[in-house]
């Protein structure tokens, strides 16, 4: 008799909205072993698993789910770690609805299997168990690789190559490792203790980590190449865009990078216990509709804002953020001002933001991205009151390395050009991947790029004699 | 962790900080800055580089004790460690042969303009130094300047050393001293750099200033250090910190510098003394 399948995912316990907007603790609380097994039993164990095709790092998804269903969590986490060094992070921040879960056969009739929640469960279970599964590490091959940036791309390259016997040194510009996982994604979505745990895991594989080290300034890439056989650049998308409208240099106007870095990396939410201040704004307007915009708007609420607005020029349907994050923001009371375009920021005598002149939009014909193009409604200008605005419309790659590495081919948007399949750049022995190549994208796509680059570096270095 | 080799009050409220940081000395140039974090909960603050010793692997900065973070730094002793000392950051001051260059230093900028003067001298320029302070007891490093500058002039508000008055006397001093500089480099507090730029503009003397905004990462990532130069927004950390003083929007810059004034002194009230708060 065929088993009956529950049409819906097993819900994951969450902090109640009224409670969580007063703290920075994680919103989602994770599956218990019972809930995880119940969800795992929904998996059809397809012979041809489409979900795996949707995974940028190719985790054997049906196998780890089968292990959960059987209650063998240790085998489950081992399966994930064959392909993914950061399961606790990916289980939380991957857009599974666009990747593995999108391809789940169950999703045709019902809700797909909650693959992300299960991945997260295994990672947390392992951390709680206290014994961390480590892959076998090949004997040293006497080759040295420098990894620039300790975000998702860098961590993946470093751990893949360390396992293959390379001596890997990872360089981080800030005082904590993790890149955007540390400075960008808030505590309530990705606790920093988890990022630290994953970084420790990578170090336990033998990867050396240098903090406060700005490649391009402290040492150039060319200088690194004197000591290393290969350099991987995963320096991220660290140059914030502004709207380029009047008034953006008023006080109270932030880039999302600044706002989130003050809060996450510098622990500004604990000011004055921690020294880095973060103003308690009353009415906050966040420009943009992606995950970073949701993070900023939700952070503002937790910092005590009376009102936190998302100002977005299209409608709800076009929001690029994950639906789950939009729903979380809505539940928490973030106000969404759709079809609204900021025109000008208005300041007082002392140079502080007091208002934003906006214009209403309506949706016209689809544009190049396939989304309906917003068109201004004439005469619809109005002023919204605001004492803080946060610009979350994207980032360019950080210019420090392109500026100081001659011969590296740079694209129109300041990105390093690299082969999509191998991560190879225009320079011999330099690879690149993640946001520094693609512009701001997702954690898992950066990890996918890191995986491919590690493979290419290995092929290149193991195929040649040491000079 | 980075070891403090020397930390001493060089004149009232100004401290000399020398830190062991060989990775910084390897590529440091005049005009660069470092990002320093005094302790685990501390802010990341930029300090201009005032000198270095490549052999010993040490870097020296002069800083003004003004808020919470600089007060923490000012309490550190030789042998202590600090968790972050990152750099060198920023574009270096453009060193080439200009002819005659006047280097104006005030406050911490007396320190940071010193390596600029030294490098300009090495590049074959005639260097003249003008050191300014409220009073003679706030001047320092005159000997170092005398070793690289043809003339070392002083300007004090109370006249206790050198010329008496404010930096706005600069055009008059140039005439009295018969100096016709091809370039002026000014390092110091915002007001000083603004006033120098204001009085040199009518004279048509190119004036380079070393801007000192609020920063966090110092690598272009956060954008808090932005300022308007020649009508365009620039990031001081990666596009500067040196800019043409005649093109800077000083009014906007001064306002942005004040963003966190109340917060800057707030933690100072946590003295631990019950009657103090």
Q: How far is CA A43 from CA A59, A78, A106, A190, B127, in A?
A: 15, 19, 8, 26, 77
What is the model's pLDDT at position A86? 86
Q: CATH homologous superfamily of domain A242-393?
A: FAD/NAD(P)-binding domain (3.50.50.60)
| Together in a domain, B78 and B35 | yes
Asked, for residue B272, whether it belongs to a domain, the answer is no
* Matching residue, tokens 């809930």: A35
What are all long-range contacts of A345-351, with beta carbons under 8 Å and residues at least 24 apart? Answer: A345/A245, A345/A246, A345/A247, A345/A248, A345/A250, A345/A253, A345/A389, A346/A247, A346/A383, A347/A247, A347/A250, A347/A251, A350/A251, A350/B255, A350/B258, A351/A250, A351/A251, A351/B252, A351/B255, A351/B256, A351/B258
Give dist(CA B225, CA B46) in Å, integer.
Answer: 11
Task: Name the residue facing A249 among B43, B256, B270 (closest C-beta).
Answer: B256
| Together in a domain, B22 and B144 | no
> Structural domain tally of chain B?
2
Q: What share of chain B is helix, strand, coil (3-state, %, to 5)?
A: 30, 30, 40
What is the model's pLDDT at position B266? 66
Largest CA distance in chain B: 59
DSSP single-letter state for residue A270: G
| Together in a domain, B30 and B119 | no
Give dist(CA B81, CA B194) in Å, integer.
Answer: 36
Cis peptide bond N-terminal to A284, omega within 30: no
Structure tokens at B176: 């009295």
Residues of chain A with C-beta less than 8 angstroms from the C-beta of B252: 249, 351
* Matching residue, tokens 């490093």: B141
Complete DSSP assignment for A195-216: HHHHHHHHHHTT-EEE-S--BT
Whether A214 and B86 lie within 8 Å, measured CB to CB: yes
| Together in a domain, B36 and B65 | yes
Whether B84 and A175 lie within 8 Å, measured CB to CB: yes
* Matching residue, tokens 């100004």: B14
- Residue A33 above 90 pLDDT? yes
**Three-state DSSP state, A417:** coil
| Together in a domain, B58 and B120 | no
A272 interface with B at CB cutoff 8 Å: yes
What is the model's pLDDT at position A32? 95
Instruction: Give the gap in angstroms from C-alpha B86 to the nearest C-alpha of chain A.
Output: 5
| Together in a domain, B84 and B135 | no
Give dist(CA A47, CA A114) in Å, integer.
Answer: 19
- Residue A467 above 50 pLDDT? no
What mean pLDDT do residues A83-101 have? 88
The alpha helices in A70-177, defined as continuous H runs, are 73-81, 87-93, 100-103, 115-129, 152-163
What sign results for the dihedral spanned by CA atoms A153, A154, A157, A160?
A: negative
Complete DSSP assignment for A57-69: T---HHHHHHHHH
Task: Name the residue facing B233 among A183, A220, A249 (closest C-beta).
Answer: A249
| Together in a domain, B135 and B189 | yes
Question: In whole angstroms, how large is the CA radius of gyration of chain B?
Answer: 18
Tens-place pLDDT, residues A97-147: 889 999 999 999 999 999 999 999 999 999 999 888 788 899 999 999 999
Mutation target for A interface from B32, B81, B219, B230: give the one with most A CBs within 10 A. Answer: B219
CATH of residue B128's domain is 3.40.50.80
**Three-state DSSP state, A168:** strand
CATH of residue B81's domain is 2.40.30.10
Structure tokens at A333: 């009371």
Percent of chain A with pLDDT over 70: 99
Structure tokens at B141: 């490093």
Give dist(CA A236, CA A415) in Å, integer.
Answer: 10
A241 interface with B at CB cutoff 8 Å: no
Whether B238 and A350 lie within 8 Å, measured CB to CB: no
What is the model's pLDDT at position B275? 47
Instruction: Give the gap in angstroms from C-alpha A22 to the nearest C-alpha of chain B.
Output: 22
Asked, for residue B95, whether it belongs to a domain, the answer is no
Residues of chain B with C-beta less than 8 angstroms from the C-beta of A279: 263
Instruction: At B33, give phi and psi (nearest 5°).
Output: -135, 170
Give dist(CA A447, CA A457) in Å, integer.
Answer: 15
pLDDT tens digits, chain B, 277 residues: what are they?
999 999 999 999 999 999 999 999 999 999 999 999 999 988 999 999 999 999 999 999 999 998 888 999 999 999 999 999 999 999 999 999 999 999 999 999 999 999 999 999 999 999 999 999 999 999 999 999 999 999 999 999 999 999 999 999 999 999 999 999 999 999 999 999 999 999 999 999 999 999 999 999 999 999 999 999 999 999 999 999 999 999 999 999 999 988 888 787 765 655 555 544 3
pTM: 0.92
- Residue A273 above 90 pLDDT? no
Q: Nearest Cα to B86, choosing from B14, B2, B187?
A: B2
* Torsion angle in degrees (nearest 10) through CA of A383, A384, A390, A391: -40
Cis peptide bond N-terminal to B88, omega within 30: yes
Residue range of the domain that includes B42: 2-89
Answer whether A260's CB lies under 8 Å from A295's CB: yes
Bridge-based pairing state of the strands B151-156 and A353-366: unpaired
Average pLDDT score over chain A: 92
The residue of chain A nearest to residue B237, with distances taken between CA atoms, is A400
Angle at B33 between CA B29 and CA B36, to 5 degrees: 135
Last residue of a domain, one of B60, B89, B118: B89
Asked, for residue B157, whether it belongs to a domain, the answer is yes
What is the model's pLDDT at position A441? 84
| Together in a domain, B134 and B222 | yes
For residue A366, the cross-strand partners are: A372
Give the Cβ contact number of residue A106 at 10 Å. Answer: 19
Angle at A449 between CA A90 and CA A74, to 5 degrees: 35
Whether A261 and B89 lie within 8 Å, measured CB to CB: no
Q: Where in the sequence of chain A do the CATH 3.50.50.60 domains occur?
A: 144-238+398-462, 242-393
Q: Nearest Cα to B248, choosing from B203, B205, B202, B193?
A: B193
Asked, for residue B30, whether it belongs to a domain, the answer is yes
Task: Categorize the per-residue pLDDT at A379 as very low, low, confident or very high, splitting at 50, 70 and 90.
Answer: very high
Structure tokens at A36: 């995880």
Mutation target for B interface from A249, A261, A393: give the one with most B CBs within 10 A. Answer: A249
Asked, for residue B271, whether it belongs to a domain, the answer is no
Asked, for residue B262, whether it belongs to a domain, the answer is no
Give dist(CA A301, CA A281) in Å, integer.
Answer: 9
Task: Name the residue facing A272 among B223, B228, B267 (closest C-beta).
Answer: B267
* Matching residue, tokens 């200033």: B209
Give dist(CA A195, CA B191) in Å, integer.
Answer: 43
Whether A272 and B217 lie within 8 Å, measured CB to CB: no
Bridge-based pairing state of the strands B163-164 and B151-156: parallel
Task: Name the residue facing B23 among A183, A213, A274 (closest C-beta).
Answer: A213
Asked, for residue B203, whether it belongs to a domain, the answer is yes
Bridge-based pairing state of the strands A144-148 and A230-233: parallel
| Together in a domain, B71 and B129 | no
Give the Cβ contact number of residue A3 at 10 Å. Answer: 7
Q: Please report the residues numbered 29 through 68 in chain B whose beta carbons come closer than 8 angstroms to any beta carbon of chain A.
A: 35, 37, 41-44, 68
| Together in a domain, B161 and B244 | yes
Give dist(CA A298, CA A78) in Å, integer.
Answer: 35
B241 interface with A at CB cutoff 8 Å: no
| Together in a domain, B210 and B120 | yes
Asked, for residue B270, whether it belongs to a domain, the answer is no
Task: Categorize the per-residue pLDDT at A466 as very low, low, confident or very high, splitting at 50, 70 and 90.
Answer: very low
What is the model's pLDDT at position B269? 59
Whether B221 and A240 lie within 8 Å, measured CB to CB: yes
Is the domain covering A144-238+398-462 a CATH 3.90.280.10 domain?
A: no
What mean pLDDT do residues A296-315 have? 96
**Three-state DSSP state, B247:** coil
Structure tokens at A467: 């000079």
| Together in a domain, B84 and B36 | yes
What is the model's pLDDT at position A185? 94
For residue A363, the cross-strand partners are: A374
Q: What CATH class does A17-129 carry?
A: mainly alpha
Give dist(CA A226, CA A242) in Å, integer.
Answer: 38
For residue B6, the cross-strand partners are: B18
The alpha helices in B177-276, defined as continuous H runs, are 190-200, 236-239, 250-257, 261-265
Structure tokens at B175: 């005439």
Q: How far is CA B12 from CA A450, B137, B141, in A?
A: 52, 8, 14
| Residues 6 or more apart in contact with residue B277 via CB below 8 angstroms | B269, B270, B271
Buried b / exposed e over B11-48, threshold 16 CB at 10 Å, is: beebbbbbbbbebbbebbbbbbbbbbbbbebbbbbbbb
- Residue A465 above 50 pLDDT? no
Whether A249 and B260 lie within 8 Å, measured CB to CB: no
Whether B233 and A258 lie within 8 Å, measured CB to CB: no
Whether A274 and B41 lie within 8 Å, measured CB to CB: yes
Mutation target for A interface from B20, B220, B221: give the one with most A CBs within 10 A. Answer: B221
Instruction: At A335, give phi and psi (nearest 5°).
Output: -95, 125
């Amino acid at each position: 008799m065929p088993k009956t399948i529950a049409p819906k995912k097993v819900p994951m316990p969450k902090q109640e909205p009224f409670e969580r907007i007063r703290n920075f603790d994680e919103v989602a609380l994770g599956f218990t072993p019972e809930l995880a097994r119940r969800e795992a039993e929904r998996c059809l164990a397809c012979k041809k698993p489409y979900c795996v095709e949707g995974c940028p790092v190719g985790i054997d998804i049906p196998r780890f789910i089968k292990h959960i269903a059987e209650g063998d969590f240790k085998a489950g986490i081992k399966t994930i770690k064959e392909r993914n060094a950061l399961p606790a992070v990916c289980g939380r921040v991957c857009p599974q609805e666009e990747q593995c879960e999108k391809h789940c056969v169950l999703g045709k009739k019902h809700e797909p299997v909650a693959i992300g929640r299960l991945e997260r469960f295994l990672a947390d279970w392992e951390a709680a168990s206290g014994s961390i599964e480590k892959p076998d590490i090949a004997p040293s091959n006497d080759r040295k690789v420098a990894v620039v940036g300790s975000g998702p791309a860098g961590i993946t390259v470093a751990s893949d190559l360390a396992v293959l016997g390379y001596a890997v040194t990872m360089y981080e510009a800030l005082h904590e490792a993790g890149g955007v996982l540390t400075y960008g994604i808030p505590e309530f979505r990705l606790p920093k203790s988890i990022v630290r745990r994953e970084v420790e895991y990578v170090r336990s594989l033998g990867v050396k980590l240098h903090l406060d080290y700005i490649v391009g300034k402290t040492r150039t890439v060319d200088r690194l190449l004197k000591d290393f056989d290969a350099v991987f650049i995963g320096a991220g998308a660290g140059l914030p865009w502004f709207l380029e409208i009047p008034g953006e240099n008023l006080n109270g106007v932030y880039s999302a990078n600044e706002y989130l870095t003050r809060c996450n990396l510098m622990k500004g939410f604990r000011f004055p216990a921690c020294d880095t201040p973060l103003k308690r704004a009353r009415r906050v307007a966040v420009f943009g509709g992606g995950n970073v915009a949701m993070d900023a708007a939700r952070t503002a609420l937790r910092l005590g804002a009376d009102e936190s607005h998302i100002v977005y020029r299209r409608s709800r349907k076009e929001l690029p953020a994950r639906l789950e994050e939009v729903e979380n923001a809505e539940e928490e009371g973030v106000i969404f001002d759709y079809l609204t375009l900021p025109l000008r920021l208005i300041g007082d005598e002392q140079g502080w933001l007091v208002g934003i002149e906006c214009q209403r939009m309506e949706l016209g014909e689809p544009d190049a991205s396939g989304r309906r193009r917003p068109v201004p409604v004439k005469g619809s200008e109005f002023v919204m009151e605001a004492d803080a605005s946060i610009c979350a419309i994207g980032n360019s790659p950080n210019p420090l390395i392109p500026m100081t590495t001659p011969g590296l081919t740079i694209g129109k948007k300041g990105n390093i050009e690299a082969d999509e399949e191998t991560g190879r750049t225009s320079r011999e022995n330099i690879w690149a991947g993640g946001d520094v190549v693609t512009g701001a994208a997702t954690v898992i796509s950066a990890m996918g790029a890191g995986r491919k680059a590690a493979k290419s570096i290995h092929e290149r270095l193991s195929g040649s004699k040491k000079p | 962790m980075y070891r403090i080799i020397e930390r001493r009050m060089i004149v009232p409220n100004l401290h000399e900080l020398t830190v062991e940081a060989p990775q910084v000395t390897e590529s440091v140039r005049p005009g660069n800055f470092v990002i320093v974090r005094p302790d685990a909960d501390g802010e990341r603050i930029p300090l201009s580089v005032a000198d270095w010793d490549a052999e010993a692997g040490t870097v020296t900065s002069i800083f003004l004790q003004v808020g919470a973070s600089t007060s923490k730094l000012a309490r550190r002793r030789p042998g202590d460690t600090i968790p972050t000392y990152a750099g060198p950051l920023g574009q270096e001051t453009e060193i080439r042969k200009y002819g005659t260059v006047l280097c104006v230093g005030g406050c911490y900028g007396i320190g940071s303009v010193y390596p600029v003067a030294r490098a300009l001298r090495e590049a074959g320029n005639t260097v003249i130094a003008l050191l300014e302070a409220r009073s003679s007891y706030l001047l320092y490093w005159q000997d170092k300047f005398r070793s690289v500058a043809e003339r070392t002039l002083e300007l004090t508000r109370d006249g206790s050393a050198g010329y008496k008055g404010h930096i706005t006397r600069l055009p008059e001093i140039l005439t009295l001293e018969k100096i016709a500089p091809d370039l002026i480099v000014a390092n110091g507090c915002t007001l000083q750099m603004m006033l120098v730029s204001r009085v040199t503009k009518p004279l048509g003397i190119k004036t380079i200033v070393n801007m000192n905004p609020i920063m966090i990462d110092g690598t272009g990532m956060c954008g808090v250090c932005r300022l308007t130069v020649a009508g365009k927004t620039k990031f001081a950390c990666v596009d500067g910190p040196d800019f043409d003083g005649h093109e800077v929007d000083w009014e906007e810059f001064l306002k942005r510098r004040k963003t966190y004034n109340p917060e800057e002194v707030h933690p100072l009230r946590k003295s631990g003394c019950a009657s103090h708060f």
